[in-house]
Amino acid sequence: MRILKIFLFCAIGFLPFSLIAANAPITYAPVITITAPGPFVMPITVNNFNDISAITLNLEYDSATIAFTGFTANSVFGSAFQVGSNPGTGGSKKKITIGWFGSGVNLPNGSAICTLNFTYVLPNAGASSLTWWDIGPSCEYSTSSGVLVDTPTANYYKNGSVTFPLTANFIADNLSPPKNTTVYFTDLTTGGPTAWSWSFDRTSVLFVNGTSATSQNPQVQFTDGGLYTVTLVAYSGMLSNSTVKAGYLRAGISGVWTGTTSSEWNTLSNWDNYLLPVSTTNVIIPVSAPNWPVFTGNLTLGLHCATLFLSGINSRMTVTGILTIL
């Protein structure tokens, strides 16, 4: 019997440590999607939180995107629960440090040990990872019996993130520009875009002043008149979002005859801005044109156009009916 007891003692003594030591709780940083800039809360939740008497945690975040403003601890921990913000691993990275020491505490699975208060810094500041910084004792739990097993780290400390929906948007400074003049586009995409792709439904577009279709804020000239549909695709990492503004701007000067297609007054492409004159339009016939305008029927100034101006002695126009001035 004595030999058997010695054998059992030796066998137990050589069991792997992980089979006889207690495991640490599983700690979760949240995965949050923010829909607007401003304050938000970040619960730090746990599973298997049994008889815990000491907590040390460090959670790294990007302070250029979100700013720490305070915390609320679970009331079971009392006033000894402490949270602070400290420098991180570099750049705009910072660490939230959580610390507590007291009597053994039990919590149901999914309970929050605390809620961290943050604010989203800018409407287009991008996303922030939430990464547990576990270097030796920088993340650990203890009971009255000692430090609990928490390796491998990924099994015990679950990272999270704060992300923002990528929503493409833009404006142009002139929605009715003359041809061959510069229009300035401004990107208004939210969600931290890092790349852009601009396109138009027509080929008569030039990017100028060193900008291109991949610039954030391109400068564009339109070499032909008429309506242009503009599409912007914005990218952030693996995410993309697009917006299409159909007939967003009309290039060309209202009422200027070009005659590039025919002599027909009612053909849109014969007008500089691809728009037929109306009662308020001042019509200008240039000194030269590939085709001179022909108005079929009776033309009434004040009805079919506001005024009619022939720019030079060679300018011509035909009205097949009666020309009336109201």
**What does the alpha-carbon distance between residue 177 and residue 253 come to, in Å, rounded to a whole number?**
7
Asked whether 191 and 126 are in contact (CB, 8 A), the reply is yes
pTM over 0.85: no
93 and 114 both lie in a single domain: yes
**What does the alpha-carbon distance between residue 231 and residue 245 come to, in Å, rounded to a whole number?**
6
* Res. 69 pLDDT band, cuts 50 70 90: very high
If you average pLDDT over residues 133-153, what whole number do you get? 93
Give residue 237's pLDDT: 74
Structure tokens at 156: 């015990």
pLDDT in tens, 104-125: 999 999 999 999 999 988 666 6
* Res. 309 pLDDT band, cuts 50 70 90: very high
What's the CATH number where 93 sits? 2.60.40.680
Q: Kindly state whether residue 7 falls inside one of the protein's structural domains.
A: no
If you average pLDDT over residues 268-293, what whole number do you get? 96
How high does pLDDT run on average in the chain? 91
Q: Kindly state whether residue 2 falls inside one of the protein's structural domains.
A: no
Q: Kindly state whether residue 5 falls inside one of the protein's structural domains.
A: no
pLDDT at 13 over 90: no
Q: Kindly state whether residue 260 falls inside one of the protein's structural domains.
A: no
Other CB atoms within 10 Å distance of the CB of residue 236: 20
26 and 157 both lie in a single domain: yes
187 and 101 both lie in a single domain: no
Asked whether 124 and 192 are in contact (CB, 8 A), the reply is yes
- Domain with 293 in it: 268-325
pLDDT at 9 over 80: no
Give residue 125's pLDDT: 67
Domain tally, the chain: 3
pLDDT at 127 over 70: yes
If you average pLDDT over residues 7-31, what whole number do you get? 62
* Res. 135 pLDDT band, cuts 50 70 90: confident
